Chains A and B, each alone.
Chain A
Amino acid sequence: MRFSMNGIAVSVAVLAAAFAASTASAQEYPTKPVTIVVPFSAGGPTDTVSRLVAEVMGRELGQQVVIQNVGGAGGTLGAGQVASSDPDGYTLLIHHIGMSTAPTLYRSLPFDPTKDFSPIGLITEVPMTIVARKDFEATTLAELVATIKEKGEELTYANAGVGSASHLCGMLFMNAVGAAMTTVPYQGSGPAMTDIIGSQIDLLCDQTTNTTSQIKAGEVKAYAVTTAERLASLPDLPTTTEGGLEDLKIAVWHGLYGPAGLPDDVVAKLSDALKVALADPTIVSRFAELGTTPVAATEAEPAALTATLTAQIALWKPIIEAAGVYAD
């Protein structure tokens, strides 16, 4: 009896607390600055996207939105920190495609991306581009594919480290071509791009955030963009489909999450603020310079992020397992 009495008392208290919390959050949230954890170092593409969005969301929410960079272990340290924080709406996470590859790349991941987070909405999908050193012989994607098939491991492919977007794109690319190249990992996109420009290495597939200015300046040779449509910022660059590689579709999608158990009204408020941010003209123009666009308002919703996350986990699992790469 005493146990159940205790149990009842506890559940009443929990209910009361939950009720108090939800009513308080409905009217007042946020009453103090909100922290968005970016699980990568400051200055990277994810950080840039996050800082742009945070600025406008802060204005909309009437509170400052602070970016905190918690880098390390391919983004899993920062994500783990948010997963175990209080679901009060004051600690959030912006993570990219790595959220969907982490469960396969890390065999001992301390969190479950589908269960330990409250998805809030998608932010943007950054396309990727296939580029080579500027003196590389192939001129079209078809020629490039033929060269790769012929030379195979004599060619070198750069990536920004295990689990990075360029690593994922490389795996898809080699799958689609049906031939392997020698993969050369770097620590981040910057050094990889440096060696492409310096003709130290042959190929790279990287986000438009990193490649657009170099393509426009003729420092690298570009072959294709990995989206269904051509980009407004690089109108002359064909898509992978046009070049005959239908299977090579990849975009680095970014999502906003809170820890699991975030009250629905807080999620709704954050999702609304995110929509306002994504419609902001400054953000649209800055994103355009990065070669990307904000997602449509219907995508900046929990349901859309959940759907993308689930689909992407299922997509990457077999590819990563087949390649046999693990990050731990």
Chain B
Amino acid sequence: MELLSNLALGFETALTPTNILWCFVGTLLGTLVGVLPGIGPTATIAMLLPITFNFEPVTALIMLAGIYYGAQYGGSTTAILINLPGESSSAVTAIDGYQMARQGRAGPALATAALGSFFAGTVATFILAVAAPPLARAALNFGAPEYFALIVLGLLVSISLAHGSVLKALAMIVLGLLFGMVGQDIYTGTPRFTFGQPELFSGINFVSMAVGVFGIAEILRNLENERERDVMVKKVTNLWLTREDFRRITMPVLRGTLFGSLLGVLPGGGHILSSFASYSAEKNLSKHPEEFGKGAIEGVAGPESANNAAAQTSFIPLLTLGIPAHPVMALMVGAFIIQGITPGPNVINEQPALFWGIIASMWVGNLLLVLLNLPLIGLWVKLLTIPYRVLFPAIVVFAAIGCYSINMNAFDVFAIAFFGIVGYVLIRLGCEPAPLLLGFVLGPLLEEHLRRAMIISRGDPTIFVTRPISATLLAIAVLVVIFAMAPSIRKKRQAIFVEED
């Protein structure tokens, strides 16, 4: 019953009028920056750090956390409406969400994202409250070999992200891996493919690439044909989910929540995999895999739940061990320190009101997000009726501003234009951008962990199969390949039999 008294303490802290107000401000701001393409939670939290100086520590952290998961939430809105993902997780949502919007089902897509996120957020918050310290301990068993094996598995299952040719999907993953190689080699500092541009030393900006290959390329494609533009969004049928929709999203939401909650805890980049993993799982488990990529509601429900659950559980390493799982969490470390609290294993004991207050506020924040977003769906859908001569330039301008604001770097804006053209060429060639983006995001991680594992083992590759977690993950990867090959082998056989008949 210690849990109950802890939660009571948490809600006591989170439900003071001041904290509710700032939790609301945080989630609202987060939603807004998530909706504006390009401006991410990192830039927003960095900009707002100074105004939290005079807050109580718990209030400041509640607000900053709200910005983070609010942005995860808002990011899916633009991905669904205008195919403009601001981060890797919403890139997955864009695949089917945007197709739903084109079919006039933007409302159900947004509602699915909102409900799935809320459910996942609730469960993940509960997991945080019940099992944060042991989960964080377990996550520490993941070293470089384990992450390498996990990413190999992730890349293999990600081939199912594409709904077209498997060969093209593979080609896109490899092209993404190559784009991911640009920048300084972290082990030796050697610049690769930088062409003497100092801006490229830290690699290609993710937002430039995502906004380019998804959003700008889509705009270019729409500009091809005057008539096509009018029919892009057919009339909006309904805003809410049908009974059939509810039935279809239930299991994806549950599985997405499970994937997200578990992967989010891993500090070495697990959260990135969560939405991809969920999408692949849904597609492979679905009775109608052919609908994926053409507006399957499961393709929105699963990844959105996974993404939000991971956003929540990625606080676990920070709150229990003081180690940041990704750049936004590193910024939260800064926020703790500025507030005079050094994040670490002692926070839970020394500052129980703070620890439990933040956890309780996450649930409050998720509730606020649903209340905030459901009524907004109608408004968002109306956005699609804006004439293209206004909407397209506005998207481009916002994308450019957002992208510039991350590093104050004009180079990143030119990169949007470059990747817009790359994305357009790929669309014309029938290649899909999602596997490209996955390769780009996972490529550097794959290389980093592979090389680190090899450095630690001093060149002995058996490290990957002698460590149990890594060996298990690689074995699953082999099974995935076998299962993926099996149907095509069967089909070929059938084809042969047909010919023989």
Asked, given contacts A43-B332, A200-B144, whether A213 binds B323 with beta carbons under 8 Å apart, the answer is no
Q: Which residue of B lies closest to A193 (CB)?
A: B323
Which residues of chain B have C-beta atoms less than 8 A from A187's C-beta? 186, 448
In the complex, the answer to whether A69 meets B46 with C-beta atoms within 8 Å is yes
B236 contacts chain A at the CB level, 8 A cutoff: no
Q: Are the C-beta atoms of B143 and A289 separated by less than 8 Å? A: no
Asked if B171 CB lies within 8 Å of chain A CBs, one says: no
B340 on the A face (CB < 8 A): yes
Question: Is B487 an interface position by the 8 A CB rule?
Answer: no
B154 at the interface (CB under 8 A from A): no
Chain-A contact segment, one of B15-23, B210-218, B342-350, B474-482: B342-350
Interface residues in B244-270 (C-beta closer than 8 Å to A): 267-268
Interchain CB contact under 8 A, B344 and A70: no
| Cβ proximity bits A308-325 to B, threshold 8 Å, 1 near / 0 not | 000000000000000001
Q: What 1/0 flags go to A77-110 for Cβ under 8 Å of B?
A: 1001000000000000000000000000100001
Residue in contact with A289 in the complex, picked from B199, B340, B448, CB distance below 8 Å: B340
Cβ-defined contact, A55 with B53, below 8 A: yes
In the complex, the answer to whether A201 meets B456 with C-beta atoms within 8 Å is: yes
| Contact B199 A77, beta carbon cutoff 8 Å | yes
Within 8 A of B (CB), among A164-182: 182
> Complex formed: what's the CA distance from A69 to B342 in Å?
22
Across the two chains, which residue of chain B brings its CB closest to A290? Answer: B337
Main secondary structure on chain A at its contact with chain B? mixed
Q: How large is the interface on A (under 10, 10 to 19, 20 to 34, 35 or more residues)?
A: 35 or more
A187: shortest Cβ distance to chain B, in Å?
6
Cα-based distance from A248 to B321 in the complex (angstroms): 29
With a cutoff of 8 Å between Cβ atoms, the chain A residues found around residue B322 in the complex are 213-214
Q: Does A272 contact B (CB under 8 A)?
A: no
Binds B, one of A6-14, A15-23, A45-53, A140-148: A45-53
In the complex, whether B134 has a CB less than 8 A from a CB of chain A is no
On whether A72 and B49 interact (CB within 8 A), knowing A51-B338, A188-B330, the answer reads no
Q: Answer yes or no: A219 CB below 8 A from chain B CBs.
A: yes
CA distance A213 to B346 in the complex (A): 8
Q: Is the beta-carbon distance between B140 and A197 smaller than 8 angstroms?
A: yes
Say yes or no: B140 contacts A198, CB within 8 Å. yes
Q: Is the CB of B49 within 8 A of A42?
A: yes
Cβ A194 vs Cβ B191 within 8 A: no
Contact of A68 among B49, B342, B408 (CB under 8 A): B408
CA distance A73 to B254 in the complex (A): 42
Query: Of the 9-residue stretches A155-163, A222-230, A257-265, A296-304, which lies at the interface with chain B?
Result: A155-163
Give bound CA distance, A183 to B158, whole Å. 33
Give chain B residues whose Cβ lies under 8 Å from the Cβ of A327.
184, 189
Does residue B26 face the partner (Cβ distance < 8 Å to A)? no
Q: Give the shortest distance, in Å, between A271 (CB) and chain B (any CB).
A: 23
With a CB–CB cut-off of 8 A, which chain A residues contact B198? 72-73, 76-77, 80, 110
Cross-chain contact A198 with B324 (CB below 8 angstroms): no
Given that A44-B330, A77-B201 are contacting pairs, would A190 and B324 also be in contact in the complex, using a CB cutoff of 8 Å?
yes
Instruction: Decide: B408 and A70 in contact? CB cutoff 8 A.
Output: yes
* B331 beta carbon closer than 8 Å to chain A: yes
B468 to chain A, nearest CB (A): 14
Please give me the residue from chain A that is nearest to B141 by CB atom: A198
Contact residue among A43, A54, A68, A198 (Cβ-Cβ distance under 8 Å from B330): A43
**Is B222 interfacial (CB 8 A cutoff)?**
no
A243 close to chain B: CB less than 8 A: no
Once the chains bind, are B140 and A194 in contact (CB under 8 Å)? Answer: yes
* Chain A positions within 8 Å of B448 at CB level: 187
A41 at the interface (CB under 8 A from B): yes
Given contacts A42-B45, A42-B331, A182-B456, contact A326 B189 (CB under 8 A): yes
- Residue in A195, A197, A213, A286 whose beta carbon sits within 8 Å of that of B340 in the complex: A286
Q: Which of B45, B140, B344 contacts A217 (CB 8 A)?
A: B344
A216 located at the interface, meaning its Cβ lies under 8 Å from any Cβ of chain B in the complex? yes
Residues on the B chain within 8 Å of A44, using CB: 330, 334
Q: What are 21 contact pairs spanning A and B, CB under 8 A?
A: A42-B331, A51-B50, A54-B50, A69-B46, A77-B198, A77-B202, A162-B188, A163-B189, A182-B455, A183-B455, A185-B186, A186-B452, A195-B143, A213-B322, A213-B342, A213-B344, A214-B344, A219-B321, A289-B337, A289-B342, A328-B189
Known: A182-B458, A200-B144. 17 other contacts (CB 8 A): A42-B46, A80-B198, A153-B458, A156-B455, A184-B456, A185-B187, A186-B452, A188-B330, A190-B267, A194-B321, A195-B144, A198-B140, A213-B344, A213-B346, A217-B344, A327-B184, A327-B189
